[in-house]
A and B are shown apart, each in its own frame.
Chain A
Amino acid sequence: MASVPLNDRNVGLAAAGKVVSPASGRWESVAMVLLTLGVITCVAGYLALRPREVGPPAALSWQVRSFDGLNAVDQAIHSALLPAGEEIIWNNNDTGGWITLEHAQKIVLPPFYRDAFWKSNGEVHWQLILPGSHQAHARTPDGEVASPAQSPSQVSQATQGQGAAVYYGAGGRLPGQSAYLLVIGHAHAGVMWANQATIWVHPNPNAPYPGIVKPEALVSKGWRQVIAYDGASEIERVKGNQP
């Protein structure tokens, strides 16, 4: 094998190490930096502005969530009022009348039915108040209903036109227990699905009947609307909005 002279080898290396500049000069590096910044900006922009999954509505200041805002007794009574409200509405759609508390005893309808549930959940005294029929009451220590303190005509005037049937529960004996309202808005008699039930609680278990059961009036008197954390809300939380 013939050996290459040292001087010739140096000349060859110098030729191999020659730097060839790109035709675009330094702009290639600048373009790469700008492209990288652009990608980062786009990703950051998408993350900031992407459509978020809508969670269940949070309770407003005048509302309380049944799931984590009520104590066990209030929660139990609320759970019983929900299907009772549905049955009352259906019954009204079919018959035009309201389930009286006497009839509730016959059809063993909780929370009005006076059974072990009623007993262990504070023995709440319930009244059905129809538009114009309210007579304010006060519960005496022995559980009897005292004579009206307010003239029926006054309250009748206040409730006229609201079209709401109200199941009012007060006088619960357990510590921390609330007073309750099941308000069934009755838009037009005989119109299917026109009724809507809302449930309200008051921290004073002996809170007087509010007279006017419109939301603003109830809120001003310290009543809070119970927002059920229901299956639809849970599915929405877990899976996002469902079709």
Chain B
Amino acid sequence: MIASARLRPRLRGCLALLVLIPALALAGQAQAAAKKLKIGVTLHPYYSFVSNIVGDRAEVVALIPGEANPHNYQPQPADITRAMSLDALVVNGIGHDEWVGAIVKAAGRSENLPIIQANASVALIPISGDQGGAKVVNPHTFVSTTAAIQQVFEIARRLGELDPDNAATYRRNAMAYAGRIRALRAEFMNRFAGLDLSKFRCATTHAGYDYLMQEFGLFVSAVIEPRHGVAPTARQLANTIEAIKKAHVRVLFAEKTFSLDLAKPIEAATGVKVFALSHITGGTYSADEFEVAMRENLETLAEAVEYTQQ
């Protein structure tokens, strides 16, 4: 009896510890959950990239509505509200999201919001076709696989610096995601392997696909828009039609989400066949959107190349 009376306080202590330990562990978890980074993105591909890099270790927030066209977007009050609570923001930085500066400034975050420039380490290439002799930077690095992978690595590296506890996970996830993108590319490369690509000549309405073409060893002979998002004048259009005829272009790539008004007269004047590629800048944000859209793009590209073999 005496012994059990002596043991009682110890038993109580043990019981208290048994209750406290899980409680402390849960509290730690709750704290960790509270520390999740909130990462904003400006464009659809970056939503997919960041979602695949962070997994469940951070929250991904699209800065603007999914259906908005980033080419001519006007910032809205809700965008500013979203920017106020971000821990980092991933931007293209070289085109398509110039409006982000106004949002960040209006949110009062110019000084304290880390901006991750996805293209910081991507080797840029000029827009194809005749740009009046000038070499103009092509900002569509996200419509590609290789340049997309480079951006995934850059984002993962920067996120790792901001969130060192999860840096290894981000890097591992980035490499796994890059592997999936490469496997997708390889799948279509095998389809291209037996084709003669040397005679493939194409034109594009929008200068959005140079990076994609480069990866397949294909080159764009003419771009219809004289500048990004600018419709050509009658004289410029006539010159482009002439260039298409001279280069024996057989395929014209239009933009899926844009009007075909520009492609139709060129098709009529030159006999080119029109195919539509996706710019991946509209629709619902999702982790797999990039892979889905890129698969469709590669499918279209393969069909176009196969058409030129006939």
Contacts and interface: CB of A to CB of B under 8 A. Distances in A.
20 contacts: A67-B123, A67-B124, A68-B126, A68-B135, A86-B150, A87-B153, A87-B175, A90-B153, A110-B182, A116-B190, A116-B197, A117-B189, A120-B217, A228-B122, A230-B121, A230-B122, A231-B93, A231-B141, A234-B94, A235-B117
Interface string B210-241: 01001111110000000000000000000000
B198 to A, nearest CB: 8
Given A76-B214, A234-B94, A115 B190 contact: yes
Interface string B70-90: 000000000000000000000
B263 interface: no
A79 B171 contact: no
Given A228-B123, A230-B120, A232-B121, A115 B93 contact: no
- Tell me the interface secondary structure of chain A in the complex: helix
Interface in B161-187: 171, 175, 178-179, 182-183, 185-186
Interface residues of A, number: 36
A82 B186 contact: no
Contacts of B141: 231
A76 B215 contact: yes
A115 B147 CA distance: 18
A231 B117 contact: yes
A113 B197 contact: no
Given A76-B215, A107-B179, A108-B183, A120 B197 contact: yes
A231 B120 contact: yes
A230 B124 contact: yes
Interface in B79-134: 93-94, 115, 117-126
Contacts of A115: 186, 189-190, 192-193
A119 interface: yes
A83 interface: yes
A76 B175 CA distance: 21
Contacts of B217: 76, 116-117, 119-121
A228 B147 CA distance: 13
A229 interface: yes
A5 B156 CA distance: 101
Contacts of B219: 72
B182 A117 contact: no
A186 to B, nearest CB: 18
Contacts of A231: 93-94, 117-122, 124, 141
A78 interface: yes
B182 A107 contact: yes
B119 A87 contact: no
Interface in A80-94: 80, 82-83, 86-87, 90-91, 94
B216 A82 contact: no
A75 interface: yes
Contacts of B189: 108, 115-117
Contacts of B150: 82-83, 86
Interface string A209-243: 00000000000000000001111101100100010
Nearest to B192: A116
Nearest to B120: A232
B52 interface: no
Nearest to A193: B157
Nearest to B110: A243
